[in-house]
Amino acid sequence: MNVASLELQGVIQSAEGKYEEAIKTLESARQKEEDLGYSEPPTYARPVLISLAEAHLKEDRFDKAEKTYQELLKKHPNSANGIWGLYKVYKQTNDHQKLHEYQEKLNEVLRQGDKSLFPL
């Protein structure tokens, strides 16, 4: 519950434009999530890394957003959220080569999924 509470606080702070506070709160949630040593349920519905990367992206900290999404993909290689996040990073940084690469990856992952959740 503490992880979820901290994540919610961080997401609210980010939505309010309080990015520095949001990132600190989300880093704390991330650490607590890792300290648990397990996920309950087995794959947490929404890893804190997604919210942390989104906060970095909103603050135009593209290098940190990219690093955080990459970390998510190390843990969950077929995460549509991670691939979608990198797609957004590369779109905002005008990296057309990587943008195309992640568009293709997302299309592959979503072959059987709901493509409307990730509008390319």
pLDDT in tens, 86-96: 999 999 999 99
Which residue is associated with the tokens 């905002």? 92
72 within 8 A of 53, measured Cβ to Cβ: yes
Range of the domain at 80: 2-117
Tokens 């190390």 sit on residue = 74
Q: Is the peptide bond preceding residue 41 cis, with omega within 30 degrees of 0? A: yes
pLDDT band at 114 (very low <50, low <70, confident <90, very high): low
Q: Which value, in Å, is the radius of gyration of the alpha carbons in the chain?
A: 14
* 66 in Cβ contact with 86 (< 8 Å): yes
Give the CATH number for residue 72. 1.25.40.10
Token output for 88: 């957004």
Distance separating alpha carbons of residues 59 and 30, to the nearest angstrom: 19
User: Over the stretch 22-76, which tens digit does the pLDDT of each residue have?
Assistant: 889 888 888 887 777 655 554 556 678 899 999 999 999 999 999 999 999 998 8
User: Which one has a higher pLDDT value, 2 or 51?
Assistant: 51
- Number of domains into which the chain is organized: 1
Residue 3 is predicted with a pLDDT of 79
- State the pLDDT at residue 10: 87
- The Cα 37–Cα 33 span in angstroms is 8
Specify the pTM: 0.72
What number of residues does the chain have? 120
* pLDDT confidence of residue 38: 55
CB 47 within 8 A of CB 33: yes
